[in-house]
Structure 1
Amino acid sequence: MDACTLGDLLDVVGGSSVRLLTAPNGLGVPVTEAVLHDAHDPLPQAPGALLLAVGVRAAAAGPLVRAAAGAGLSGVVVRGADGPVGEAQAHGVALLSVAEDIAWHHVHLLLASAISARPVPSGSGLGDLFALADAIAAATGGATAVEDPRQRILAYSTVPGQPVDEDRRQGILGLQVPGSAENSEQYRVVFATDRPVRLPALGAENLPRLATAVRAGGETLGSVWVVDDGTLAADAEKTLAQGASTAALLLLRARAAQELARHQNSDLLRRLLEGSADVSTAAHRLGLDAVRVAAFVLASAASGPDSERTALRLLDVVRLQCEARYGRHACVLVDGVVYALLPAAGERGRGGEAGAGAPWSRTTTDRRHRQLAEDIVGRAGQALRVPVRAALGEVVADLGGVPGSRADADLVLRMLGDELPLATVDELRPRVTLLRLTEVMGERPELGAGSWRRVLEYDAGHGTEYARTLVSWFDAGCDMAGAAKLLSVHPNTCRYRLKQIQQHVGIDLDDPDERLVLWLQLRTLAGLRGAAGATS
């Protein structure tokens, strides 16, 4: 993989987050990693690294810049914009700055994720967590596993000939440490101390362990466990402590890279929803073509910080479920609504085209997407203790149709309630169409003109119910008996009202076009529907 350059780094994180103050050797300078300055330790031997000036005021960072140049570092990152630009230029060291209010560990995560996909500096012999596990196993003499805080096994050693026990075999098979009260107590002991600890065997089929927590900046990132058959190296504890330090770097970089990818995908999805993203670039990055927009929202009307936190938790639930189903996925929270793209490769999009030559299978796609949405609504409702509603827009043939599918989902959300917490746009198509017509007619004054206003004015002036009678008649398919049933009156009463309407308001109910326009205006602009209780 090509080395990251200063220019590559700024392409990813430059702007409001990281500013370049000077680059005397140009933007093509290789950048290998980001390291934190420790005033109590000598500068690291890490040629090409960026040094984060922790604990050093920007204006007083001149000596640190000179020392960085002598150590072969690529640059120095200071807080604030008043760094020693002259010193940096004189010694050929790039100088970058970050805002005063950004925590250094956040800066480190941001830079580490963008600098290099390689987890550790070249030449260390530890290419990834599996290589690290092998290195620890070889140095300590015991089979090794690296775990996350939830006791999931992230990597394990494969050094031949080392003793293993039943817990290790079961853990590797399921990539999850077998759960038990005794196991939980051992994890409590490990996470309660800052150094490696020796733990007794859990049962006759198992061996003791040497274990240590993996931490960075006070945060627990996981743990490293070594099987102890009684023949571990004399310096095993020291080796394990050093290995945990390297594991922290690997885990931080892996997490930072994942978070950066999520952030980039979320930003891309936001622009797709707005219709401002380049479709071909988005399709290449997300690996999607035919999709449907799913929208999730909290049913509670609560507002304020609690509502915002709950919405973020809803985002986590949606992202987790989508990633479990589809792998890497794009989800984003916009104005309280969580949006996700559900892949529908080969499905027909707007206009009925079949995508990618695959057969049309709306039933299969709807079933799959609906099941996922139901799972999310159920899980999120239980976890958040707040009802959640979900809307599925139309399947579109490519990412260019995402704004339209999002508009569908937004309209469906407005129609959901306690009795209907989830629906697809196709299930509510007539109501969605009427709602769209309502919005269009409300925005266009010329579409609001017509006889419907005269009907309402007559009702207001004479105490009649002619408008509701008309809507009931239209809703009943122009059937007099059906309209009378909706109005709870005799058919003759309904017939009389319609005759009076034509006489006093001047409406031609024999004209199908006039009937259609009048019905649409009364339904959409006046918001009337056929119902019982009208009076003459």
Structure 2
Amino acid sequence: MLDTEEPDLGQVLDALGASLVRPLTALPERPVPVSGVLIHERRAPLPPVKDAILLAVGVGTAEPRAKDLVDSAAAGGYACLVVKSFGEPVAELTEAARKSGLVLLAADEAVAWHHLDAMISSALASAARVTQGTGSPAVGDLFALANAIAGMVGGAATIEDPYRRILSYSTLPGQGIDEGRRQGILGLQVPDAPDHYDEQYQALTQTRHTCRFPAIPGGLPRLGVAVRAGDEVLGSIWVVDAENSLDQAAEQALFDAADIAALHLLAARTADDAVRRRRADLVRRLLADPSSVTAVAPQLGLDPNAGVAVAAFAVGSDDADEVLAVHAATRLADLVSLHCEAHYGKHGCALIDGTVYALLPSGPGPNAHRELVAGIARRAHGALRVLIRAGLGSVAVDLRSIASSRADADLVLRALAERPGEPETCQVASIDEVWAGATLSALARILVAHEALPRRLGPSIRAHDLEHGTTYASTILAYLGSNSDTAAASSLLSVHPNTIRYRLSRAEEIFGFDLADPDERLVLWLRLRLGDQLGW
């Protein structure tokens, strides 16, 4: 144990695990105290922060400034420097760190820096408690932790993830519970009661102290606290106050337990993430190369000859912050994976270029698939508070035909995104529901890809309208969209039918098309209808 109350670097590394960070230099025999974690800002001078862990974000191991950062960190009294190599050589940087006496660590490239920052912060909080003499159950044993919390606080405890999935619960005798807890334990999921639970979870995530909640109809009062790593909410702990007797000491005990629980949840998530990443890699391989089905299907637990449908999920956001968009997509992938595993086992999901793909075995039927996808989308919107789009492809006859189902799911997402008007907060459809819009979207892609096709009609009409203040494009669209009914088009545009006839006649003279020709009429409508998608 250290003489100071600061945790030792060795304790922190033990808590994080070798799969997350590994030493590139030998750890000193003496204890290395750790005071906190700091992210390197490339454009600012490095502040001297004694005993801190420095994350070298955006610094390549082979860059000259990496060695400069090693020297600056050593001179500033930092405990260690964490880098990501991404395949670059590390020998010279390792030697520079060894000479300066600075510990150099390599982080797993697949772990986001903000995630690593949160995990180190949680490990520091837990290790600090150990140095102060407070023990805790072994990392990863969430049921032992739930029992320890129940005994310490004085009521039956449950530990949940951010999606209200019950990860563990206490089993101490003599502690009262209610029907909500019973149902939650049976399904390992908090039962739906949006009028009550949504407000409670919102209050929990917006505060950094223990919350006290009154009894809901048919239930008992509860204490709750959010489990955090930095600013990230990892889950929550709930304790039933059966006798309405838990006092401020119980509130403080529950608040203290959240720091310990954070490390457990991070350790459990790290293990789950490793398994999920492997399955995601297999799904990516299968979607990119269906011929790999013989090798991939057994590892995913799928029958190569069984039917499967592909579901695609995406975050629809206008947020210009790329980091936030990526973070939302990652959380969406976690949520989709959890729900699909609960229904179909661990077949896997994959996040590819911002879209989350899930494989759904064909057994339950298309309606069951549609209901599941809609349910996941609703829960994702509730958890992430962003617009969610979800598309369900057709059922492929076997895994070798999976590319067609993925293409369908992509078309559905595109058709939903291109719907006119304000988007709903949660948009869900199957390929059969949006076949017309999906077909138009596919045609637009074909037209864009064929440079040799003449483009004069669409762009020239819109350009003329823009230059001369005319309305030929909107008039033609209204006329063709009304099945060539002049009266209907005039009503739609609030002009006299003769005005419609005059504009159409003038348009034929100016642009040289013939509305009596069905082929020209069809192509003209397509070019004007898809003008925005084509960039015309």
TM-score, normalized by length of structure 2? 0.49
TM-score by length of 1: 0.49
